[in-house]
Structure 1
Amino acid sequence: MKLMVIGASRGLGRAFVEGLWEPGDTVIGVSRSRPRDLQCPDGITLQWIEADLAQPSIAAEQIAAQAPADLDVLIHNLGIWEEKAFSDEYAFLEESDAALKQLVDVNITATLMLLRRLLPRVLNATRPQLVLTGSTSALPRSGRPEVAFGASKFALNGIADALREGFRDRRLAVTSLQLGYLNTDDALSVPLTDAAARGAGELVPMHDVITMVRALLRLSPSGFVRELVLPAIADPRY
């Protein structure tokens, strides 16, 4: 399997790189810079493409020029949020035009430009698969006030819906991951019980996300998961 992860240097993206491979796989990470301490075991081919997606046009061309001609799975884990998002200090009316534009450029413009260039490389796979990392902020009545971030994740839902219809005849499996608050402090090397204890049930360990995505990758060509909603068990919104 050839698996590409966009936004792979840290957090969940890094967990995708470290946790989804099987012996013989090729994993291609994409981020602004390659982590120095990231290694895969023998039998796994690890490649890296460095590109700054805050410059969508330039980055899309750089990635397209270096990406393999064929991919089986594309995981698009791209997303930034407002500086004071998810805190009591967040205030939409205090956001600068420049910050709002950058968020839209990274979360929406770069996504569209990358998908236009990379999807043709996925569509020739036996089971072409696209996984988009969304957020529970993109669900109706999410209870979150972050305007630009929420809007960008709603846009991602629209992209996913349109791609399913546009490439249904090519059997493209598009899955949206609607994830709640994550524990990104504890890497996969931390025991699951310890990672799950952080946050007293209000944070989802990345191990759980990896478990679910590994299951997605093992489905037959006749089925797919349209949307996976994974909030924390103690999240009062769900």
Structure 2
Amino acid sequence: MKTMVVGASKGLGKAFIDGLGEQGDTLIGVSRSRPETLPSRPGIEVRWVEADLAEPMKAVSVIAQAVAEGGLDTLIYNLGIWEELAFDPAYDFLADHDDQVQAIVNCNITSTIVLIKRLLPVLLKSANPRIILTGSTSGLAQSGRPEVTFGASKFALRGIADALREGYRQQRLGVTCLNLGYLNTDDPLSTPRVLAEQRGEGNAIPVHDVVQVVRMILSLSSASFVKDLTLPAIFDERF
């Protein structure tokens, strides 16, 4: 299986590179810059593509070229940015700068659509094509969050997923939107999960849990798929 992870340099994206894949698989990380040392995964080839999706049109050409010959089975779009004071009591929509709003829309929506459009012809050649979009509980109805642009961009991901399913159902394209709550990205996959789950005292999800969920999704046959999956922290009172 060939899996591409967009936004792979840190946090959850790095955890995907460190934790996904089986013997003989290929993992392709995408980020603005290539890590000095690529992860060493016995039996798994790890490749990297340098592309800045803040400039969508330029980036998608570089990324598409990287998989044009070798093919692709799964695209995990894990890239997303938010307002400077997002998730802070001081957040105020009226204080958001217009250029910041535009940057969030470009990265979280425009780049997602344009990249999928460019990669879809390659993905559909796979016997079991999959797209996994890293969404947020902020993109759910009555999420309880006031961040306007970030919330709108995560609502948009669910719309993108719905439309893709209908458009390419006959080609067996499985599209999953992961609605994730607050994450503990301070503890990498190398941290024992029993320790990582203690950070945040029940208010933050270890990346280990998200990786486990994605492993399950990728293990399914081409006869089924996971449509939406909401994964909040146990003490998140919004859910």
CA deviation map 1:66-104 (0-9, x unaligned): 224311111011110001100111111001111101111
Structure 2 SS opposite 1:134: strand
Give the unaligned 5+ runs of structure 2: none
Q: State the distance in 1 between where 2:232 and 2:169 align.
A: 29
Q: State the distance in 2 between where 1:161 and 1:112 align.
A: 13
Q: TM-score, normalised by structure 1?
A: 0.98
Q: State the distance in 2 between where 1:167 and 1:3 align.
A: 19
Quote the residue 2:193 is aligned against.
Answer: 192
Structure 2 SS opposite 1:209: helix
Amino acid at match of 1:160: A
Greater shift after overlay, 179-188 or 59-68?
Answer: 59-68
Quote the residue 1:211 is aligned against.
Answer: 212
When the two chains are superposed, the root-mean-square deviation of aligned CA atoms in Å is: 0.9
Q: State the distance in 2 between where 1:194 and 1:17 align.
A: 21
Q: TM-score, normalised by structure 2?
A: 0.97
CA deviation map 1:131-181 (0-9, x unaligned): 000000000000000000000010111000000000001010001000000
Quote the residue 2:5 is aligned against.
Answer: 5
Structure 2 SS opposite 1:176: strand
Quote the residue 2:42 is aligned against.
Answer: 42
Deviating beyond 6 angstroms after TM superposition, the runs of 4 or more aligned structure 1 residues are: none
Quote the residue 2:75 is aligned against.
Answer: 74
Q: State the distance in 2 between where 1:75 and 1:56 align.
A: 16
Quote the residue 2:165 is aligned against.
Answer: 164
State the identity %.
58
- 1:35, distance to aligned residue in structure 2 (A): 2.1
Q: State the distance in 2 between where 1:225 and 1:42 align.
A: 29
Q: State the distance in 1 between where 2:76 and 2:68 align.
A: 14
Quote the residue 2:180 is aligned against.
Answer: 179
Give the unaligned 5+ runs of structure 1: none
Quote the residue 1:33 is aligned against.
Answer: 33
Aligned residues: 238
Q: State the distance in 1 between where 2:36 and 2:206 align.
A: 23
